[in-house]
Amino acid sequence: MGKPTGFLDYQREESEALSPEERIKNYKEFHIPLSREKQQTQGARCMACGVPFCQSGMTIGGMVSGCPLNNLIPEWNDLIYRGNWEQAYNRLRKTNNFPEFTGRVCPALCEAACTCGVYDSPVTVKQNEYGIVEYAYEQGYAKPKIPPVRTGKKIAVVGSGPSGLAAADQLNQRGHLVTVFERSDRAGGLLMYGIPNMKLEKQIIDRRIDIMKQEGIVFETGKNVGENTDAAQLLNDYDIVILACGASAPRDIKAEGRDAKGIYFAVDFLASTTKSLLDGNLKDGTFISARGKNVVVIGGGDTGNDCVGTAVRHGAKSVLQLEIMPKLPDKRAENNPWPQWPKIRKTDYGQEEAARVYGSDPRSYQTTVKEFVKDKKGNLKELVLVKVEPVKDSETNRTVMTEVKGSEYTVPAELVLIAAGFLGSESYVTKAFGVETNERSNVKTPRDRYSTNVDKVFTCGDMHRGQSLVVWAIKEGRECAKEVDKALIGYTNL
């Protein structure tokens, strides 16, 4: 422990964000990193607890507390406090393949479990991680690590999201020959087209992909396995196939008028903006535009917030975000003690921006759509909304959100974005390989395993566990790689 009194001597200091008025002018990341000296001071706040909940990844109260990757957080906090940034990077990379991604988009489960946060502000773990990896690139020690020996075993990874990339990275370092197949025109999966550029600039992904290519991983883009690429051929050509295609089947909203023109799934809206931004700086007109429209986002999660922030940047006339659940408290409730994940209301960047541009928080709680109203040409023109309330079902003893009679009201809407989550893997992929799925449409495996019912076929990530966080996807990829390595070699040291 570098500074035993650091948590008493120093206050939490975060990177400064550009004002909403300034940052909505473009699609760039908008936080100004702390200086290296200030970041070292933040590392000094780590208490090096006897029980470091920050890195535990335990399930407490039905939710995960601490980092699922079990990052060695106290160790690298101490190392950056001492100014040993290269060793801090080495320790960080032992557990996390892509700290440049998690340091930007992870909701920081580690900080919610930080002992400093019991009576004071938690350590800036996420920003320390960001500082470590970016300094590593700046100094040149985040460089390719080419495996000295090759096993000759060939592995196909289908999907280049965080789980597929993590599995590919681990298995390549073990010496296997890895090829990643991606159906889109760019590698990265949801990192590339599911997360807006202002949260994760795409050159950051390309930077890591370039290193992985230099390390020997082959990337095949535009290869949609199950459609333009034969699944049987992959099984014939490779020793192992890993399915890491994500939970990409979006949950729909069933209401009268659903066929109106102007209703899109959030992932299609976000992907179209990112692709147009990368291809031609949004000048090609190929994206789903919110400019001058009354926009309604259905869904209160991270994806819904990303839609809000993107619509604001497009120049939407208004933005309304619907959340079916009640508003969460601003502070922990008594039945939600530390180190449980805090079930509190979070105002994210998109909501902050919408509030500044349109004058009020865009969220409407306990609200859902009852009807999509079309004009004579079939275009969406307004929504009939209804309030809902939690009611306990006497038969199942479950709480369900039930319509409040007489609470209907109408709002104008020319564009609706459905961000209601995902139901599981897409059926054309699972059918192509003949793998079994469970009741949630996720690929079925034995408990705590990654092997499917089909010989040589493994799975990981959202396709396996359902829609989740990037940090969980990386964890899944790493664990799957262990099982694959053992199946190929007979043992694993991953």
Contact (Cβ atoms closer than 8 angstroms) between residue 380 and residue 372: yes
What pairing do the DSSP bridges indicate for beta strands 240-243 and 457-459?
parallel
Q: Are residues 243 and 338 in the same domain?
A: no
Q: Would 1 be classed as within a structural domain? A: no
User: What is the rounded average pLDDT of the residues 186-194?
Assistant: 97
pLDDT of residue 3: 85
3-state secondary structure of 391: strand
Distance CA 172, CA 151 (A): 10
pLDDT one-digit tens code per residue, 435-448: 999 999 999 999 99
Q: Are residues 244 and 259 in the same domain?
A: no
User: What is the rounded average pLDDT of the residues 71-93?
Assistant: 96
Q: Are residues 391 and 432 in the same domain?
A: no
DSSP 28: S
Q: Would 233 be classed as within a structural domain? A: yes
Band (2; pLDDT cuts 50, 70, 90): low
Q: Are residues 483 and 338 in the same domain?
A: no
Q: Are residues 269 and 379 in the same domain?
A: yes
User: What is the rounded average pLDDT of the residues 213-225?
Assistant: 98
How many Cβ atoms are within 10 Å of 453's Cβ, its own excluded? 13
Q: Of the given ranges (131-140, 184-193, 335-344), which has the lowest mean pLDDT?
A: 335-344
Looking at this protein, which amino acid is placed at residue 53? F
Distance CA 128, CA 130 (A): 5
- Give the pair of three-digit tokens for residue 41: 């001071």
Give backbone dihedrals phi and psi of 248, rounded to 5 degrees, phi first: -105, 15
Q: Are residues 32 and 107 in the same domain?
A: yes
Residue after which a domain boundary falls, among 115, 139, 163? 139
Q: Would 38 be classed as within a structural domain? A: yes
What pairing do the DSSP bridges indicate for beta strands 415-418 and 409-412?
unpaired
What pairing do the DSSP bridges indicate for beta strands 422-424 and 249-250?
antiparallel
Which domain covers residue 181, as residue numbers? 154-248+423-489
pLDDT of residue 47: 87
Q: Would 96 be classed as within a structural domain? A: yes
Residue after which a domain boundary falls, among 377, 393, 420? 420
Q: Are residues 379 and 350 in the same domain?
A: yes
pLDDT of residue 473: 97
Give the whole-number percent of the chain exceeding pLDDT 90.
93
Res. 90: pLDDT tops 90 = yes
pLDDT of residue 273: 98
pLDDT of residue 487: 97
pLDDT one-digit tens code per residue, 151-180: 999 999 999 999 999 999 999 999 999 999
3-state secondary structure of 492: coil
User: What is the rounded average pLDDT of the residues 28-42?
Assistant: 96
Res. 481: pLDDT tops 70 = yes
22: Cβ contacts below 8 Å, ≥ 6 apart: 30
Q: Identify the CA nearest to 1 among candidates 52, 71, 66.
A: 52
pLDDT of residue 1: 61
Q: Are residues 18 and 50 in the same domain?
A: yes
Q: Are residues 129 and 159 in the same domain?
A: no
Q: Are residues 234 and 342 in the same domain?
A: no
pLDDT of residue 493: 93
Mean pLDDT value across the chain:
96
User: What is the rounded average pLDDT of the residues 66-72?
Assistant: 96
Q: Is 312 exposed, middle or buried (0-12, 13-18, 19+ CB in 10 A)?
A: buried
Question: In angstroms, how far is CA 193 from the centroid of its own chain?
Answer: 11
Q: Are residues 56 and 118 in the same domain?
A: yes
Q: Would 314 be classed as within a structural domain? A: yes
Q: Would 430 be classed as within a structural domain? A: yes
Q: Would 256 be classed as within a structural domain? A: yes
User: What is the rounded average pLDDT of the residues 3-18?
Assistant: 93
pTM of the model: 0.96
Q: Are residues 388 and 479 in the same domain?
A: no
The domain tally of the chain equals 3
Residue 234 belongs to what H/E stretch? helix 231-237
